Structure 1
Amino acid sequence: MMKVEEIDAINYKNNEATEAKEKVVLDETITLTINNEISRSLSAIEDSLEEFAVGYLFNENMVNSMDAIKKIEVNGVQINAEIDDTLLKTNETVLCSDSAGGWRSKIKHVNPVQSTFQVHVSELIDRIEELKNNAEIWQATGGTHVAGIVYKDQFVVKEDVSRHVAVDKVIGYGLLHDFDLSQSYVIYSGRMPADMVIKMTRAGVPILASNAAPANSGYNIAKKGNITLVGFLRGQRCNVYNNQNRVIFD
């Protein structure tokens, strides 16, 4: 079910104000508790929460394998995760927050992604349009970010009010469904700063594509992490940054 509700509004157009009903995205405060010790609360859509939890744990460097996740239980807006805490003992977490209030870990180490994966530029152009066409909540409300993961002939799309959570959800989906992430790419709506690009290095995804721009911080992480960034993916154009041989132009 699409997470949308209608609220009262006044539409103003051509010097005329009229009462109306407008659709808005229905977000909730989601709480993720890890090992009954660490708790994270953030605004998100109550959908695909197991995928979110898996993606979050990988993308925040709390685990580095599915074997390190012992249990995930979802009860409404409450998520309880039990993990091997080896990484937690050595990593600094809860040091910065994303725009939707979810806490993110500090970037301390960047491990380069090793991948021979390539994609044709025409596929990226087609996928960004397909991404928008599958963004049902965004089309209804304009209030979400949308992310997709592509692996072989599979294209899985998730939406959320937080661009971070949307990406966590698609990476979590890939991990739960045995995608070879080194042969995948993520495409999404939003800028590409360091805290987004680091997700690719931690999950092992070689390409991040977006209709928006990279930030210098994201480009620097892409260089360290051997990530290919594709930005300004709009219409029949794009810019490719770092390790450009992963994108085929002919």
Structure 2
Amino acid sequence: MKIEEIDAIQYRNEKACDVKENVVKDETITLTINGSISRSLSAIEDSLEEFAVGYLFNENMVKSMEDIKKIEIEGPQINAEIDDKLLRTNETVLCSDSAGGWRSKIKEVNPVESDFQVSVKELIARIEELKDNAEIWQATGGTHVAGIVYKDQFVVKEDVSRHVAVDKVIGYGLIHGFDLNHSYVIYSGRMPADMVIKMTRAGVPILASNAAPANSGYNIAKKGNITLVGFLRGQRCNIYNNQNRVIFD
């Protein structure tokens, strides 16, 4: 179960009463690479293979599925094996983030070349569909939600971490053969540099959100040729950088 019921006191309209509240059930997930590097983070124990694949790509540790030799999952423990040469290349540029995971220092940004386009009406419809599919968020209010769209496929994942939610949908796309160069990611969260860089590393040309971009995210989007769609709410949105990818019809 991803949801747990707990006791709480609710104060409303000048009255306090005992209530039962739903909360999301997160676990300490440990990802170990080649048996030598190990970090733990708080996440929902779900779609862990997708998370591991997305993480390895989004943290610039692998470039293709062929670089991943093995992923084994036992409960909340993930053991991944990649090419030793890739590990040695990337190990020196890894740093720990506040959640106990890794965030590679952004040393280079490779532009995403893609002629993919999407209509603004589709984006507006998808953000509503994203919320409708966010079952844990609807029950608890305690998750971030991310979706990946490829052709007529729309896959949604939730997690307590916005980074993990995005890693999961990108990992799903990679495992299932999506052409990420003709896909887009839509999610609930801000768009700073450490989120936008994931798009450049995976080759996803568009990142859309109901929240705002940060200046750091905008700068990475410019360097990486990523289209950002922010404030996607109701019948409105803002498009930043390479606006030609969004069709107004």
For 2:34, the equivalent position in structure 1 comes to 35
Identity of aligned residues (%): 84
For 2:223, the equivalent position in structure 1 comes to 224
Task: Answer yes or no: is 1:198 the counterpart of 2:197.
Answer: yes
1-structure distance, mates of 2:47, 2:173: 12
2-structure distance, mates of 1:214, 1:85: 36
2-structure distance, mates of 1:96, 1:198: 17
For 2:130, the equivalent position in structure 1 comes to 131
| Contact 2:59–2:102 under 8 Å retained in 1 | no
2-structure distance, mates of 1:135, 1:35: 34
1-structure distance, mates of 2:191, 2:20: 34
2-structure distance, mates of 1:165, 1:94: 17
Give the alignment's TM-score, normalised by structure 2.
0.98
Task: Answer yes or no: is 1:155 the counterpart of 2:154.
Answer: yes
2-structure distance, mates of 1:224, 1:95: 22
Number of equivalent positions: 248
* 1:84 counterpart letter in structure 2: D
Shift of 1:85: 2.9
Runs of 4 or more, structure 1, over 3 Å off, are none
1-structure distance, mates of 2:54, 2:93: 16
The one-character-per-residue Cα deviations of 1:175-222 (angstroms, maximum 9, x if unpaired) are: 000000000000000000000000000000000000000000000000
1-structure distance, mates of 2:93, 2:160: 22
For 2:212, the equivalent position in structure 1 comes to 213
- RMSD (CA atoms): 0.9
For 2:101, the equivalent position in structure 1 comes to 102
Shift of 1:93: 3.9
Shift of 1:159: 0.1
Give the alignment's TM-score, normalised by structure 1.
0.97
1:65-104 alignment runs, 5 A limit: 65-91=64-90, 92-97=92-97, 100-104=99-103
2-structure distance, mates of 1:108, 1:39: 22
For 2:187, the equivalent position in structure 1 comes to 188
For 2:244, the equivalent position in structure 1 comes to 245
Gaps spanning 5+ residues in structure 1: where?
A: none
Shift of 1:243: 0.3
Task: Answer yes or no: is 1:236 the counterpart of 2:231.
Answer: no
For 1:164, the equivalent position in structure 2 comes to 163
| Contact 2:200–2:226 under 8 Å retained in 1 | yes
Shift of 1:70: 0.3
For 1:50, the equivalent position in structure 2 comes to 49
